Structure 1
C-alpha cells in the first residue's frame, strides 16, 4: 500500500463482503494445514533417517508443537476488540485518513467516521491470561541435523511471509480500492513547488 512514490485510495465498504471474508479465512486455514503437513513430513523424514540425532528430533518436535500451539492460541483466544459506537461524534459523516509513507507515498482511507474508527483503532482482545514460555535448544551435531534445522527455518520464513500476506489480505478485505497513481508522485503537498 505504501510503495515508494505511489498513493492508493481505499474506501471502507458498507458491508464487508462475506464471500471474500470466507475465502480469506479458508486460505488461512488451508495454509495452516499445508504447513502442519510439511512439518509432519519433515519429522517423518527425520525419524526414519539414521543420520539424525535425538537432539534434532527433539528440537523439531518441540518447534512443530510450538507452532501448532501458537496457531491454536491465535485462533481460540485472540479476537478483534469491540469498538464503542457512542464515542464517535457524527459517526455517519464522511471522513478520510491520510497515512504518509516514505518517498512521497501515501495511503488514503475513506468512509464514515465510525467506519474509519472501527478499521483504524480496533486492537486485539486476548482471552484468559496466557503465559506461554518457549525455550528451544539448537545444538547442531550432524549434517542431517543442520539440514533439518535449515529446512525448518525455511519453512518458518515461508510461513511468516505467506501468513503476513494472508493476514494483510484479511485486513484489506473490507476495503474497496478507488484510485492508485500510475506515475511517480513528485510531491505530497498541495503546492507543486517541491
Structure 2
C-alpha cells in the first residue's frame, strides 16, 4: 500500500459524500420491511444520514387510504410493504384496475431464493473491493478502512433495526368473525384501483400491520440502542468526511464504487420486497390493464360487489357524487353489464336534461306583485 501523498495538509470536505445522498430511497427501503436475509448483505446503506434520525420515523402510515365495501369503513393503509409493492409494480398507474385474492396458503421460496442470490452477489462484490484495496495501484489505508468500517457499521445497523423494529402481528381474537369474506379498495389519483379480497383476518393483516417497536424489549432499551446507533453513525460519517478527501485517487475511486454498491443494494432491495409481497397474492381474471375513465372504475367495482347484501355501501363510502343521475346510473350499471358505463351515464344524463323542470308551487297566502303595488299606492 502506498504512503499518503498529502499527509501534512489534511482537509475536511463534505462533498466527498455526495454519492451518499439517497436519503429518500433508503428510508423507503427501511419502511418496506427488510427481511433477515437482506440484513446480512455486504453493502453500505445508501443514505447513512437517515440513521441519525429517531426510529419514530419508521412508524408512519402510507399516503394511501382504502375503503371496505363490506364494512363500509375508510382508513389509512399502514402496511408499508404493500405500499412499496403498489408503487414499484405501478398498480395505480392511470388505466389499471387490478383485483387480487389472498390465497389460503402461499410460498415464499422464490422470493427467499432471489434474496439469497443478491446477498451472495454483494459479498462477492465486497470481496473484490477488499482485494482492490490491498493490491490496487496507489491505494492507502484510507480505502481499506472506509470499506471495512462503513460496510460493517451498515450491517450492524440493519441487524439492530431488524431486532428493535418489526412488523406488527395482528391478534386474530380481536377480529369479529375472522373467516367471513372482506375486501378493500385503494383508488388511484385518476382512473385506477387496487382491490384485495380475502377473509377478514387476512385483510386486517394486509392493511393494518405496520412497523412497531419490539414488544419484548423495554422502552429504555429502545432508547439506549437508538442513542448508540445515532452516535456511532455520526462518528462513521466524520471518519468518511475527514479521510476520503485526503486519500489517493484510487482510494476515492474505491469509495465511489462502494457507494454505488450501496445504491444498487437499496434499489434491488425495494424491487425484491415488492416482488415478494405480490407473490403472496393471486391476481384475479377481473383485472383490466387499460381502463378508459374513472366512470369505468366505478362500474367495475359496483358490478364486482353487486352480491353484497348491504347494497348501500356505495353511498356510505361516498364512492359516487350524490346526484339523481349518478344514483340511477348506479342502479342500472349493476344489472346492465353489456353497455359501456360512460355511454350509459351520458344517456341517463340526457334523459334528465330533456325532462321538464318541476315548477315550484305558488303560495296563495302571499300577495302577488300587483296586489302589493296597489296597496302601497
Bigger Cα Rg: 2
User: Aligned partners of 2:132, 2:266: CA distance in 1, in Å?
Assistant: 23
SS of the counterpart of 2:93? Answer: coil
User: Aligned partners of 1:41, 1:30: CA distance in 2, in Å?
Assistant: 17
* 1:99 matches 2:186: yes
* 1:153 matches 2:259: yes
User: Aligned partners of 1:9, 1:104: CA distance in 2, in Å?
Assistant: 14
What pairs up with 1:1-194 in 2 under 5 angstroms?
1-17=91-107, 21-73=108-160, 79-127=166-214, 128=217, 129=222, 130-131=225-226, 132-133=229-230, 134=233, 135-136=236-237, 137-138=240-241, 139-140=244-245, 141-179=247-285, 180-187=287-294, 188-190=297-299, 192=342
User: Aligned partners of 1:53, 1:2: CA distance in 2, in Å?
Assistant: 50
Structure having the higher helix fraction is: 2
> Which shifted more, 53-62 or 160-169?
53-62
User: Aligned partners of 2:274, 2:261: CA distance in 1, in Å?
Assistant: 20
Q: Which runs of 5+ in 1 are unaligned?
A: none
Q: Which has the higher contact order (CA 8 A, sep 6+)?
A: 1
- Over the aligned positions, Cα root-mean-square deviation in angstroms equals 2.5
In the superposition, relative to structure 1, how do residues 71 and 30 fare at CA in structure 2: closer, same or farther (>3 Å)?
farther
CA contact (8 A) 2:95 2:293 kept: yes
Q: Which runs of 5+ in 2 are unaligned?
A: 1-90, 300-325, 327-341, 347-377
In the superposition, the TM-score normalised over structure 1's length comes to 0.83
User: Aligned partners of 1:27, 1:78: CA distance in 2, in Å?
Assistant: 23
Structure having the higher strand fraction is: 1
Aligned length: 191
CA contact (8 A) 2:95 2:289 kept: no
In the superposition, relative to structure 1, how do residues 146 and 116 fare at CA in structure 2: closer, same or farther (>3 Å)?
same
1:90: Cα distance to partner?
Answer: 2.4
1:74: Cα distance to partner?
Answer: 5.5
In the superposition, relative to structure 1, how do residues 63 and 184 fare at CA in structure 2: closer, same or farther (>3 Å)?
farther
1:16: Cα distance to partner?
Answer: 2.0
In the superposition, the TM-score normalised over structure 2's length comes to 0.46
In the superposition, relative to structure 1, how do residues 93 and 37 fare at CA in structure 2: closer, same or farther (>3 Å)?
same
In the superposition, relative to structure 1, how do residues 178 and 35 fare at CA in structure 2: closer, same or farther (>3 Å)?
same
Aligned match of 2:368: none
CA contact (8 A) 1:36 1:68 kept: no
SS of the counterpart of 1:102? Answer: coil
